[in-house]
Amino acid sequence: MKETYIYGFRVKYEDNAKDGVNYLFSDLDRDEARVFFDQAKARKSAKFEDDEDRQFTLSYDGDGSYSLMRRTY
């Protein structure tokens, strides 16, 4: 599992979720991305999709970090 920081939030992710990391950091500004982090913390997870319709779930881990997973159907 890899780890990075997105706007100050520690995020753990697998290789298949790299596009989600790029979306949160490169496509959204800080305020737009923060909505997902706030929702994940309040509700334990936040689902979103990027501009290419790839599906992701951002989960709050309880230790101050987040996990990002790609959803496939």
The pLDDT, as a whole number, for residue 72 is: 87
Closest CA to 59 of 33, 32, 35, 36: 36
For the chain, the domain total comes to 1
- The answer to whether 63 and 50 are in contact (CB under 8 A) is no
pLDDT per residue of the chain (73 residues) written in tens, 0 to 9? 999 999 999 999 999 999 999 999 999 999 999 999 999 999 999 999 999 999 999 999 999 999 999 998 7
**How many angstroms separate the CA atoms of 11 and 49, rounded?**
17
State the pTM of this model.
Answer: 0.94
Instruction: For residue 11, give its domain range.
Output: 2-71
- For residue 36 the two structure tokens come to 């997902």
